[in-house]
Structure 1
Amino acid sequence: MTLVILAIDALDTKLVEHYDIDEYRLDGHTQMETVAHQFEHPFTPEAWATVATGLHPTEHGVTEEGTSSWDNPLIDFASQFVGHLDVHTRAWLGNKITALTGEEYTVGVTDSPTIFDPEYAVVHNWPGVANGAELRKTWQITDGDPPKEYFERELKGMAVQQFAWAREMAQHPISLGGVHVHTVDMASHAYGEQEDELERLYRWTADQVRHVREGLGEDDELLILSDHGSYTSFLDPGEVPGKHAFRAFASTTHPDGPPESVFDVKEWVEERIDVSEYEESNLDLPKEQLRDLGYID
């Protein structure tokens, strides 16, 4: 039995209901409690690290005041004075700094225990835990006011690889696999004032979820989570479209129903995965041949 977690960033409970998309609801769904520490709204690396650890950001350390930082100490110091800006405005400024100075922003990785630490678990592109480079690459898609065609080509191209990873992991003898996908978040910022366009991206992402579910085995389970929702002009008059909302989503195929809070996910997962059938075997590699080819030292 494998539990696959799809961490779909910014999947909004209110929008799932508004668009009436069954692929997200699975067999049980709820609006999940999320967390905000550094800002008045949820911040992606903080929230996903909480999901993986069960800890508050002050405990797992993935905050703007913690492990996430710039390589250059002067730039890192200056970045402390733009906290009043929304996350993606700050990301845009960060991308400009990188282009001008060559300095890179590092998405922090927690030192705390996570659900993905055991050998029976695998993880890909999970903010605060693994592969922060893919999150930065996704944020950079909007650099330089790109045309819509480029934006969607790059966004969907990365997402397809991430969903395919999830589907493939379910074919292997693991107990837990988790992947983070940023498609809905970016779409919510780009199309927060365009109801039909945002629905189109919501439904495209839902179709990828369907493909993952269809690839599961008879005993496998699927858990969908988000870290927050996003305000829109058509559902939230008076709010800034794209601003993060406290409308995180959770759904599952498991008969127990989904977790109610980002703080509960770790315990929920650990109580429901089956590790009894996990085992590893030896791989007999032709090491001399690989050394001759320069593949290994």
Structure 2
Amino acid sequence: MSDTFVVLGLDAADYDLVKKWDCENLLLSNHNGIDTFAHSLDVPATYEVWPTIATGVFPDQHGVTLPSSWEKKNRGFRFLEEIGTRLPKLLKSPAIKIKHSVEGHETKTSLDHMFNNGDVYNWPGLTSCPDWEQEGEWFSAVKNKSMSEQNFRRNHLANAGKGIGWLSGMSQAGTPVVGAHVHILDHMGHLYGKRPEKLESIYNEVDELVGWLHDQVDRLLIVSDHGMQTTATDDPQPGVHSFRSMVSTTEKGGLPEDMTAIREWVESRVKNNGEENMTEIDAPMQHLEDLGYL
């Protein structure tokens, strides 16, 4: 294994639920709740919190916010069961395209972030998010009953495994710091907020995936942007985001206390491997052209 610092962004991992259901792999040797925030909505918004985690600044500074038209439409509207589909659709809407700014609303921040010396996958506000967008389409399909819950669950587990496997592979490559955002618990929390036995099953499956990742890497940080209200936690609005975000790590010592503190905490622990060498290809160029590689 390597010194790679691995960051698993586990969307909507609710600290109270993780403890209630004894998810031992999510509860690493050092864990706690962590303060999150609401900006455009009455509850934390995935689209806005993840860039804050990576950059260390709030949405007004990193520039990735919900468009004012969407914000006004939803302000005060607490029952956000459809947020799981609306945000991914926002990224693909004709008015707002990834890598572009419309009316001052960025879909990607231009600021430096904690993965500048490493790599990052499917992270809202930093990268394109094909997995998250695809999952939004699945959420619409299961809501409209054109996809079964069984396939919805299966597809999400496959995407979660893809993100977690990506982290393992990048760690084996010796990348100084890597991060991936995995969205499964958010959509499942919206779907199963009133069916805790089904949600608990998903938490256990994700816990097993994270246990596998823990076996592959030496240094791991798990962080969530928010939690999820459920009947299991006697919340008033099941299926709506909660403020019970969490942080969990293999590292010793103090933990970051809020979303703006995570970047500095991570960067203080990353070991920079120096400049990377350019790659030389040993195979004959003509052979590679014949194969269609070039």
Partner of 2:133: 136
* Displacement after TM superposition at 1:147 (Å): 1.1
Equivalent in the alignment of 2:149: 148
Aligned to 1:227: 225
In structure 1, the residue matched to 2:187 is 186
Task: Flag the 1:59–1:27 CA change in 2: closer, same or farther, 3 A.
Answer: same
- Where in structure 1 are there 5+ consecutive unaligned residues? 67-76
Q: Tell me if structure 2 keeps the 8 A contact 1:43–1:87.
A: no
- What's the C-alpha RMSD, in Å, of the aligned pairs? 2.5
Query: Is the 8 Å Cα contact of residues 163 and 181 (structure 2) preserved in structure 1?
Result: yes
User: Which AA in structure 1 matches 2:116?
Assistant: D
The residue aligned with 1:267 is 264
- For residue 268 of structure 2, give the secondary structure of its aligned residue in structure 1: helix
Select the residue among 272, 276, 279 that pairs with 1:280. 276
| 1:95–1:290 Cα change, 3 Å | same
1:165-210 per-position Cα deviation (integer Å, ceiling 9, x unaligned)? 1111111121101000011111111111112111110010011111
Q: C-alpha offsets along residues 227-277 of structure 1, whole Å, 9 cap, x if unaligned?
A: 00000023124x2211111111001000124322111011001111111x3
Distance 2:197 2:138 in 1: 21
C-alpha contact (below 8 Å) 1:60/1:110 kept by paired residues = yes
Mapping 1:204-215, distance limit 5 Å: 204-215=205-216
2:248 match:
251
Aligned to 2:102: none
The equivalences for 1:117-128 within 5 A come to 117-118=116-117, 121-128=118-125
Q: What percent of counterpart residues are identical?
A: 32
Q: Pairwise mapping of residues 21-40 of structure 1 onto structure 2 (< 5 A)?
A: 21-40=23-42
Task: Give the Å deviation of 1:128.
Answer: 0.8
Name the structure 2 match of 1:89.
82
> Which segments of 5 or more consecutive residues in structure 2 lack a partner in the other structure?
99-106
1:51 and 2:47 matched: no
Q: More deviation in 89-98 or 39-48?
A: 89-98
CA distance in 1, matches of 2:164, 2:25: 14
- How far, CA to CA, are the matches of 2:95 and 2:67 in structure 1? 17
1:8-67 deviations in Å (ceiling 9; x for gaps): 00000110111122111111111101121100100002100000000110110110138x
Task: Within 5 Å, give how 1:189-200 maps onto structure 2.
Answer: 189-200=190-201
Secondary structure, counterpart of 2:259 in structure 1: coil
Q: What one-letter code is carried by the residue in structure 1 that aligns with 2:277?
A: S
Paired amino acid for 1:190? L
> Which range moves more in the overlay, 155-164 or 254-263?
254-263
TM-score (normalised: structure 2): 0.85
How many residue pairs get aligned? The number is 276
Q: Is the 8 A contact 1:62 1:110 kept in 2?
A: yes
SS in 2 for 1:25: coil
Out of 238, 242, 247, the position equivalent to 1:241 is 238
Aligned-partner residue type, residue 156 of structure 1: L
Is residue 4–residue 221 contact of structure 1 (8 Å, CA) maintained in 2? yes
Pick closer, same or farther for the CA change 1:98–1:271 going to 2, 3 Å. Answer: closer
